[in-house]
Amino acid sequence: MYCVNCGVELADSEKKCPLCGTPVFHPDIPRTAAEPPFPPARRIRPEDVNRSGILFVLTVAALLPALLCLLCDWRINGTLVWSGYAAGAIALLYIIILLPMWFRHPNPVIFVPVDFVAVGLYLLYIDFAVGGHWFLSFAFPVTGAIGLLVTAVVTLTHYLHGGYLFIYGGGFILSGALAVLIEFLLNLTFQIHETFFWSFYPLVAGVVIGSMLIVIAVCKPLRESLHRKFFL
């Protein structure tokens, strides 16, 4: 027999096509109880996977290189010279990537601020280790401003059902303004330029893109036309 839909040759024991799933029926060929030509497919359900075991292995895999860096640095130099940067980077990646996986339904509204707090603490350690003076005047306000903006966008997107173009449009406009703040803090902390040099370009781009998204959100005919043409 052959499948009437895709033309695949079928065994006498098949009740449906293994390729396309079309039921097998032929009025002139009697059905026999023959052995199937291949074993039945077994789908692995998500609950069959030991989630905690995998995360434990990944945790050990992240912990071992961090400890090795600390021990090697201590053994060679008698103190921690460079290993703190490596161990801190590994811890930061663990918090951002693996920590939410320990929860069955991680809430991005909670974990996004946690990620930015971790980034701020890592930058604070670097500033302390190198004896810098840029954390309070540059890293802390920049990290805080970016964290507030991203958290606000994620929170509104997570809890509001609709109005995404308004949210993303406002996010682009505020991102452009954030570039101006970053250049101002750079000039204030590191004395790079006396005036604004490059931040107006991302500011203009953010305002233009954000305004376009808001206009599309307000103008229903334009939004429907774009949806028909680009399937957006």
The answer to the question of residue 198 being in a domain is yes
Which pLDDT tens digit goes with each residue over 159-195? Answer: 998 889 999 999 999 999 999 999 999 999 999 888 8
Q: What is the pTM of this model?
A: 0.76
Does some domain include residue 173? yes
Q: Which domain holds residue 21?
A: 1-41
What Å distances lie between residue 35 and 14, 21, 22, 29, CA to CA?
Answer: 9, 19, 20, 17
Q: 190 lies in a domain?
A: yes
Would residue 13 count as lying in a domain?
yes
Mean pLDDT (the chain) is 88
Classified as helix, coil or strand, 191 is coil
Q: What is the pLDDT of residues 135-157, one digit of tens each?
A: 999 999 999 999 999 999 999 99
Q: Which of 206, 194, 199, 172 is nearest to 183 (CA)?
A: 199
Model pLDDT for residues 27-46, shown as the tens digit of each residue: 566 655 555 556 666 665 65
Residue 225: pLDDT band with limits 50, 70, 90:
confident
Percent of the chain that is helix, strand, coil (3-state, to 5): 65, 0, 30
Q: How many domains does the chain have?
A: 2
Residue 35 inside a domain? The answer is yes
Question: Does 182 map to a domain?
Answer: yes
Give yes or no for a contact between 16 and 24, defined as CB atoms under 8 angstroms apart: yes
Q: Is residue 149 part of a domain?
A: no
